[in-house]
């Protein structure tokens, strides 16, 4: 499940449960937005697959690779392990 | 006097035998010591070589420096990380393709919707041509030309309707193919990375265990090496023992000479002389070979 809050030029994407290929269409709709900053909240995420990481890369492309404009928040467990292994902690701002 | 002579002869004979036994004992001891020394020296050298090879192997496994650069462990970690990064890149590209395919499906459905509108126009046109033909029929010979035009319009409406239907069918097939492509690409985009993460964890655990075992093995090797050094050091006291045996032989010969000649004064100094001043292995040191 995905919830979106658009406030003060910041779009916050709050995901709960599995962050996988089933969210691609939701993400497609989000990509039409162009805020200054994106926040992806992983607090409620317990699983990610490679498509989730692919979607994050697309988000990164939207901000022209500016790591400061995409913030990953609340990483823990399997999502944290996968993202660290893929070295996403060097490509995104992690809180 | 006779008894003294017999005793002296017996002592002389006994000393000759004891001296012969001592000579044999010295030879056996010398041979045993040479072999033991060679064996322990080889053992010590082999232990040193084993330790060196072990340390090289560990260095190749763990790499050099604090970051363990160039080691097997670091290479394996990098391979796993690259594997995940490649998977993610493939997923990112697949997600992009999927989004494009979905957009194309949307366009195809829109075009199919337009086709339906064209079909509706063709139906309406056919109805109009039918009405025109009825009207042309009603006004008689004057409407003959209109009848021909109405028939042509009917034919065109029919062709238009058929063409539109063909296009609609083709678009429906295309939409189905795009749906299949989207499903296939979504499978490509969605890879489970748990196995890679588990492998990474397993690698970390193996490294920790290997480090623990290595430290323990190196400590054991060092202890065995120290024991071998200690044994070699002890064997080097063989020289002291040989000197002692020489001294015993010499003193027994002195006793034998005294028995034969009956003179002891000039021989007493040789009996009183100490061959070795040390009384134990721990009392002094001997230079290692």
At residue B288 the predicted structure's pLDDT band, cuts being 50, 70 and 90, is very low
A44 assigned to some structural domain: no
B131-141 pLDDT, tens per residue?
988 888 888 88
User: Can you give the pLDDT at residue A47?
Assistant: 94
At residue B276 the predicted structure's pLDDT band, cuts being 50, 70 and 90, is low
A45 assigned to some structural domain: no
- Contact predicate B185/B36, CB 8 Å: no
pTM of the model: 0.64
A86 assigned to some structural domain: yes
Query: A24 and B93 in contact by Cβ < 8 A?
Result: no
Contacts of A24 in chain B (CB under 8 A): 95, 98-99, 186, 189
Distance, in Å, from the CA atom of A61 to the CA atom of A55, rounded to the nearest integer, reads 10
Give the domains, in start order, of chain B with CATH numbers: 89-191 (1.10.287.950)
Give me the number of domains chain A comprises: 1
Burial of B63 (0-12, 13-18, 19+ CB in 10 A): middle
User: Can you give the pLDDT at residue A6?
Assistant: 92
Burial of B174 (0-12, 13-18, 19+ CB in 10 A): middle
More confidently predicted of B163 and B61: B163
User: Can you give the pLDDT at residue B289?
Assistant: 35
A43 assigned to some structural domain: no
**Is residue B287 pLDDT above 50, yes or no?**
no
B223-269 pLDDT, tens per residue?
998 998 888 888 888 888 888 888 899 889 888 888 888 787 777 77
Query: A21 and B186 in contact by Cβ < 8 A?
Result: yes
User: Can you give the pLDDT at residue B139?
Assistant: 87
DSSP state letters, B83-138: HHHHHHHHHHHHHHHHHHHHHHHHHHHHHHHHHHHHHHHHHHHHHHHHHHHHHHHH
Size of interface A-B (CB pairs under 8 A): 82
Contacts of A50 in chain B (CB under 8 A): 84, 87-88, 90-91, 189-193
Say whether A18 sits in a helix, a strand or coil. strand
Identify the weakest region by mean pLDDT among B83-97, B156-170, B202-216, B261-275. Answer: B261-275
User: Can you give the pLDDT at residue B283?
Assistant: 53
A39 assigned to some structural domain: no
User: Can you give the pLDDT at residue B286?
Assistant: 43
A76 assigned to some structural domain: yes
Point out the residues of chain A with pLDDT beneath 50: none
A42 assigned to some structural domain: no
Helix axes B194-235, A77-85, angle to 10 degrees: 70
- Give me the domain span that covers residue A56: 2-31+50-94
A20 assigned to some structural domain: yes
Distance, in Å, from the CA atom of B7 to the CA atom of B2, rounded to the nearest integer, reads 9
User: Can you give the pLDDT at residue B2?
Assistant: 60
Say whether A17 sits in a helix, a strand or coil. strand
């Amino acid at each position: 499940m995905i919830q979106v809050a658009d406030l003060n030029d910041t779009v916050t994407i709050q995901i709960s449960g599995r962050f996988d290929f089933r969210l691609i269409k939701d993400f497609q709709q989000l990509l039409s937005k162009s805020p200054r900053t994106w926040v992806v909240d992983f607090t409620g995420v317990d699983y990610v697959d490679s498509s989730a990481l692919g979607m994050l890369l697309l988000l990164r492309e939207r901000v022209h690779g500016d790591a400061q404009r995409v913030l990953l928040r609340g990483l823990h467990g399997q999502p944290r392990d996968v993202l660290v292994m893929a070295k996403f902690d060097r490509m995104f701002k992690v809180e | 006097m006779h008894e003294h002579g017999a005793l002296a002869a017996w002592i002389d004979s006994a000393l000759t035998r004891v001296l012969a036994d001592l000579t044999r004992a010295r030879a056996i001891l010398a041979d045993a010591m040479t072999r033991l020394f060679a064996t322990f020296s080889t053992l010590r050298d082999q232990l040193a070589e084993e330790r060196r090879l072990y340390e090289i192997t560990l260095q190749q496994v763990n790499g050099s420096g604090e970051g363990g650069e160039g080691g097997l462990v670091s290479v394996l970690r990098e391979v796993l990380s690259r594997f995940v990064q490649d998977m993610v890149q493939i997923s990112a590209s697949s997600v992009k393709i999927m989004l494009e395919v979905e957009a194309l499906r949307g366009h195809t459905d829109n075009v199919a919707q337009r086709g339906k509108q064209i079909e509706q126009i063709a139906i309406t046109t056919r109805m109009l041509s039918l009405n025109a033909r009825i009207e042309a029929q009603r006004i008689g010979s004057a409407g003959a030309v209109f009848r021909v035009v109405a028939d042509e319009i009917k034919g065109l409406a029919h062709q238009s309707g058929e063409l539109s239907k063909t296009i609609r069918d083709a678009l429906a097939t295309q939409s189905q193919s795009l749906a299949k492509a989207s499903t296939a690409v979504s499978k490509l985009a969605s890879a489970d990375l748990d196995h890679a993460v588990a492998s990474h964890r397993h690698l970390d655990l193996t490294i920790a265990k290997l480090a623990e075992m290595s430290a323990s093995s190196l400590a054991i090797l060092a202890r065995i090496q120290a024991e071998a050094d200690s044994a070699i050091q002890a064997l080097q006291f063989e020289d002291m023992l040989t000197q002692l045996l020489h001294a015993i032989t010499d003193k027994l010969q002195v006793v034998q000479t005294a028995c034969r000649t009956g003179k002891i004064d000039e021989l007493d100094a040789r009996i009183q002389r100490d061959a070795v001043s040390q009384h134990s292995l721990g009392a002094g040191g001997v230079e290692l070979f």
